[in-house]
Amino acid sequence: MSYKLVVNQLNLGDAGQIYIHGLGSFGNGEHEISDELEQNFRSVNTVEVGGFDDDPKSDSFGVYIPKFVEGPSLVDAAGSMHGVTAAKLGPPVGGPPAGAKSGASSSVTSDGGEK
């Protein structure tokens, strides 16, 4: 599934751009974001929320235990960005061809024909 990112910041003018960490620079207008780029956005915005083991009976008592939490989805994160909205679009970029039946096992050749 791909995403539609809309930037609507009047203060940018025609040549201005905003930078979204993990995605890149965008001017006003609509932009299609691939699944891979959205996953990169989430990975880049991963946070570490671990803590020290405070169970005295544990073998790792007093040791810092890291815990990583993947960043928010683009749709969720856009909710806190001024002048930016994001929405999921239809089937994945590079996904099954239009009209393919769910569960069907056909493959498409590079010229668009089926094997």
Per-residue model confidence as pLDDT tens digits over 81-97: 999 999 999 765 555 54
Domain with 75 in it: 3-88
Q: Which of 91, 89, 7, 3 is nearest to 40 (CA)?
A: 3
The verdict on residue 84 lying in a domain is: yes
The domain tally of the chain equals: 1
The three-state DSSP-derived secondary structure of 68-111 is EECCCCHHHHHCCCCCEEEEECCCCCCCCCCCCCCCCCCCECCC
Is the entire prediction scored with pTM above 0.85?
A: no
Confidence of residue 13 (pLDDT cuts 50, 70, 90): confident
The verdict on residue 60 lying in a domain is: yes
Q: Which of 75, 106, 62 is nearest to 4 (CA)?
A: 75
Average pLDDT across the chain, whole number = 83
What's at 80, amino acid-wise?
Answer: S
Between 58 and 106, name the one with better pLDDT. 58
- Measured over the CA atoms of residue 14, residue 16, residue 18 and residue 23, the dihedral's sign is positive
Contacts of 27 (CB under 8 A, 6+ apart): 7, 12, 14, 15, 16, 17, 18
Three-class DSSP category at 15: coil
The verdict on residue 101 lying in a domain is: no
The verdict on residue 13 lying in a domain is: yes
The verdict on residue 113 lying in a domain is: no
Per-residue model confidence as pLDDT tens digits over 16-50: 999 999 999 999 999 999 999 999 999 999 999 99
The verdict on residue 83 lying in a domain is: yes
